[in-house]
Structures are given as C-alpha cells and as structure tokens.
Structure 1
Amino acid sequence: MEEPEMQLKVKKVTDKFTESMYVLANEPSVALYRLQEHVRRSLPELAQHKSDMQSWEEQSQGAIYTVEYACSAIKNMTDSSVYFKSIDSLLKHAIAMKDQLNAAQGRSTVAPQAKNPPASS
C-alpha cells in the first residue's frame, strides 16, 4: 500500500514541477508579448505627440525669430533718436533761414517800389 501512495505523491510532485517549469519557460515570452502589445497600442499616439511637438517647436522658433527681429528694430529706432534730433535741428534751422530769406525778399521788393515814383503823364 505504501507503494501506490508513494507513486501518487511522486506523480503530484512531478506534475507540480512540470507545471512550474512550463510557467517559468513561458513567462519571458508572455512578458515580451505584453510589451509588444503595449508598444503596438501606444506607439501611434506617441508618434502623433512627437509630430505635434515638432510642429510646435517650428512655430515657436518662428515666433522667437519674429520677436527678436522686432526687438532689434526697436533698439535701432531708439539708437536713431540722435539722428532724428539732428534732422529736427537742421529742419528748424532751414525754416529759420527760409523765414529770413522771405523777410529779406519782402524788404527788397517793398524798398524798390518806394524808390521808383509813378510816372507822370
């Protein structure tokens, strides 16, 4: 009687050992299958995110370039205030000279008329 009982115990142990070996042998492939499944599901979304990020980066670079160009233009405008002040001064001087010329011409045209009396008939 001990012999069949021993055979039953040995059979249970070998069955458990076989099952454990089967699980251990298949565990890496199950894990790799799960990884592959995860990658297949998430890869299109990740690719779309990458594409969106590249597009946003291009737009950002364009905006940065525009802002830098505007800042440069503003700086150049503030640097040119010296030239505008000089132009303003020269224009005021030219206007004053023109007024002097007009005044001088006004006097010279008035004076000759006074010198020449009207001819008597």
Structure 2
Amino acid sequence: MEEPEMQLKVKKVTDKFTESLYVLANEPSVALYRLQEHVRRSLPELAQHKSDMQNWEEQSQGAIYTVEYACSAIKNMTDSSVYFKSIDSLLKHAIAVKDQLNAAQGRSNVAQQAKNPPATS
C-alpha cells in the first residue's frame, strides 16, 4: 500500500476512535444534563402533589377522628341503656308508692270525717 493511502486510513481510524472516546467521555454529562432538565421541569408539579396529599391526609385524619368519636359516643349510649332501665323501674316504683300514699291519705281523711261529722248550722 502506498503511504498516502495508509495515512488516510489511519487518519479515518483515529478520527473514529477519537469521536468514540469523545462520545463516551461526554455521555455521562449529557445524561446528567437530561436528568437535571427533567427534575427542573417535573419538581414543581411533584411538590404540589406532595402538598395536596399532605392536606388530604390531614383532612382524612380529622374525619377519622370525628367518626371514631361518634362511634364511641354511640357505644356509650348503648351501654347506658342499663342505667335508663334502672331509672325507669325506680320511677315506676316511686309512682306506685305515691299512689299508695295518696290512697292511704284519702282513707285517713274519710275515716276522720266519719268520726267528726261537720257541724250543721
């Protein structure tokens, strides 16, 4: 082979090799640039989504607390039915005793009137 032709082939090979090395050397920085670009574009939207999710979580926690409190109040009301039944029976007993006292007082008044008739003028 001739010298100029060989030099041309060597130059082509070295140019391709140099280009390959240049691409390989710059590939990580290009990738990092693309990542940085992607993060810069998507980060504000992701931050907004995070903020929204935190707000929804707080609202959900408040609603859960309210429901748990309401369930607790209802459970306490059903547990208190025993006390209401006791109060009901005590009130019925008190009414019966009052009726007995009224009846006894009425008999006492009738007996006293029979012993001491009213004076007629």
Whether these two folds match at TM > 0.5 is: yes
Give, in whole Å, the separation in 2 of the partners of 1:4 and 1:29: 38
The 3-state SS of whatever aligns with 2:19 is helix
The CA RMSD measured in Å over matched residues stands at 1.7
CA deviation vs aligned residue, 1:63-111 (integer Å, no higher than 9, x gap): 1211221121122122211111111100000111111122222333344
The 3-state SS of whatever aligns with 1:120 is coil
Q: How many residues align?
A: 121
In the TM superposition, residue 43 of structure 1 has moved relative to its aligned partner by: 0.9
CA deviation vs aligned residue, 1:20-60 (integer Å, no higher than 9, x gap): 11111111100000000111111111111111111111111
Give, in whole Å, the separation in 1 of the partners of 2:40 and 2:83: 66
In the TM superposition, residue 114 of structure 1 has moved relative to its aligned partner by: 4.1
Give, in whole Å, the separation in 1 of the partners of 2:42 and 2:96: 79
Unaligned runs of 5+ in 1: none
In the TM superposition, residue 16 of structure 1 has moved relative to its aligned partner by: 0.9
Give, in whole Å, the separation in 2 of the partners of 1:113 and 1:17: 138
Unaligned runs of 5+ in 2: none
Give, in whole Å, the separation in 2 of the partners of 1:103 and 1:29: 107
In the TM superposition, residue 117 of structure 1 has moved relative to its aligned partner by: 3.0
Give me the TM-score of the superposition, normalised by structure 2.
0.88
The 3-state SS of whatever aligns with 2:118 is coil
Identity %, equivalent residues: 95
Give me the TM-score of the superposition, normalised by structure 1.
0.88
